[in-house]
Structure 1
């Protein structure tokens, strides 16, 4: 089944299927009359429309959850598996790609709050000799610049050889293990993008280095620190760090990829199992929509960081036009929407999985979405629908994540 066939199938059978969407929980203080419940349900009609619109790009299925004062709303469109036709389920797990970065940032900010490092420490202080070569100099780069992508460090996933591993060579190399040192070495073979502090460029290498700093400062594996400091305290029961394991914990659907091919006749294939070590602290985490909402509600709600570090998290820099209108903090982006609402968000793309997590100020309204295909979709439409109640434009299904105003901050 190629991409064109998938699109025809989805536009036909799946796009006309009823989408499951319901209010799952309502706070005790909220009214529970049928009229009020219907009103809460209707508030997500634009979100339902935006989810269904993703299917017209050929995406097999979309999963979403939103939380606000009205309770928790869960919706899905399309299927989790094209072979069986199983619908996507609220408890389904998926790879969140670069949404992982904010977990790594939170750990470093907590370590700073404990006085164990400073955001203004040089990378060289903690990783002597690691960031050197072809103009890179860790003595001139701070930890803060790693987290807000102003370091200028080359992005290892942009390396032509690495691109082949992720693209045409993905089937052959998908189960290989990559070490953080190897990933950084790949980046050091290239010149920096710019001098530290003089530009902005999204670089996965920044967060590989951030994970290495976590380990040097704490004396523990970065995954251990995330589990101890974030996953357990927030109660993220569906969130895991797989390390080198290619397996997905149950329940989960199927992740479909074209491995970056732009050929419309490329046959999407199952990418559910892969060794995510090449993403490590920049993007290996597996989670659920419920856990992402819980995490973003706690983080943007100020429950994970002291006030000083919360301000650091949400102190932003210009993305120099790479994300029009958006500014980037320490692992989260500040994104103004068309209705005047601002959300704190991050997106993530990895083979077969495109994700979004977002929250308004104070974490009062959160939303998380996942697409189980990586060749289409419009995350901006989903965000505008949920937070502004804005139904997607007629042509929104034609957008790819790369052309969307809300650029997918991706591993690939």
Structure 2
């Protein structure tokens, strides 16, 4: 039920019930469950709920006045865009589902944040420079831990762009910072429906399928960074 409230413990239990993709230490794959686990570690260490931690350590220091932690609420602050997805039992390639009132609680620290484009631009630069978030030594460790295309410390890196993409059903976001030019690019879309030559990701019936498979926010990110002179190269998607 996408409108139900799910606890982090329920998400962790569901993730732990799935067979691992590979033995520990042999490879890498992104996992929302890992980030949910990290959120519970933060709550254990600080003795505070994660919403309070986010507000005190990120939102307030960076003056992100239009950013919030919804917790178990599915409500969105006005004005907001309706989200559309092909997830869910009622969606079809000809008729996406309106997922605006779906509850975000299942995602917890894997992406349960409400924000707008201005706050995202502020957050993106803070992630890329560390200013307002971490000290210079920690930021150096974060940036030098990347291979030419890699992932670690909650960010990915490609062609000098550091940041992350994310989506909940009906919404898709890309946020990246170019370390060479001090440029931040943020993209928000009210659809998570991929397009292009997708083999496993659901697409719309009228999708021409003549491009690389990408979600909408990533496709726009690539177009914008190409215009800026250094194109972000996303990992392949099926």
Normalised to the residue count of structure 2, the TM-score between the two structures is 0.80
Tell me what 1:294 maps to: 122
Instruction: Say which structure, 1 or 2, has more relative contact order (CA 8 Å, 6+ apart).
Output: 1
Q: Of residues 349, 366, 373 in structure 1, which corresponds to 2:184?
A: 366
Aligned to 1:253: 81
Q: Are 1:188 and 2:16 counterparts? A: yes
The corresponding residue for 2:164 is: 346
| CA displacement at 1:364 relative to structure 2 | 1.6
> Is contact 1:314-1:329 (8 Å) kept?
no
Match of 1:314 in 2: 143
Shift in Å, 1:408? 9.0
C-alpha deviation, 1:299, in angstroms: 2.4
Contact residue 125 and residue 184 of structure 2 kept, 8 A: yes
Matched with 1:207 is: 35
Task: Work out the number of aligned pairs and report it.
Answer: 213
Distance 1:258 1:216 in 2: 36
SS state at 2:186 partner: strand
Q: Is the Cα–Cα contact under 8 Å of residues 158 and 233 in structure 2 kept in the other structure?
A: no
Moved over 6 A (4+): none
Matched, 1:334 2:157: yes
Which residue of the partner structure matches residue 269 of structure 1? 97
SS state at 1:354 partner = strand
What is the CA-CA distance between 1:328 and the residue it aligns to? 0.6
Deviations 1:372-408 (A, max 9, x none): 11213454543343333179xxxxxxxxxxxx95249
* Aligned residue number for residue 382 of structure 1: 220
Residue 356 of structure 1 contacts residue 370 of structure 1 at CA under 8 Å; is this kept in 2? yes
Kindly indicate whether the alpha-carbon contact (under 8 Å) linking 1:301 and 1:362 is maintained by their aligned counterparts in 2: no
Distance, in Å, in 2 between the alignment partners of 1:184 and 1:213 is 12
Larger Rg: 1
Higher helix fraction (1 or 2): 1
The answer on whether the counterparts of 2:193 and 2:216 sit within 8 Å (CA) in structure 1 is no
Q: C-alpha separation between the residues in 1 aligned to 2:67 and 2:226?
A: 28
Aligned-partner SS, 2:158: strand
Q: CA deviation at 1:313?
A: 2.5
Q: In structure 2, what is the Cα distance between the partners aligned to 1:263 and 1:406?
A: 27
* Cα deviation, residue 362, structure 1: 7.0
C-alpha distance in 1, partners of 2:153/2:7?
Answer: 24
Distance 1:189 1:378 in 2: 31
Query: Does the 8 Å contact 1:289/1:368 carry over to 2?
Result: yes
Following superposition, the deviation at residue 305 of structure 1 comes to 0.7
Specify the alignment match of 1:178 in structure 2: 6
Cross-structure match for 1:232? 60
- Secondary structure at the aligned position of 2:69 is classed as coil
Alignment of 1:5-404 (within 5 A): 173-259=1-87, 264-265=93-94, 267-303=95-131, 304-316=133-145, 326-336=149-159, 342-361=160-179, 364-376=182-194, 377-389=215-227
User: 1:311: Cα distance to partner?
Assistant: 2.7
SS at match of 2:119: helix
Give the Cα–Cα distance (whole angstroms) in 1 for the partners of residues 33 and 117 of structure 2: 26
2: CA distance between counterparts of 1:185 and 1:264? 32
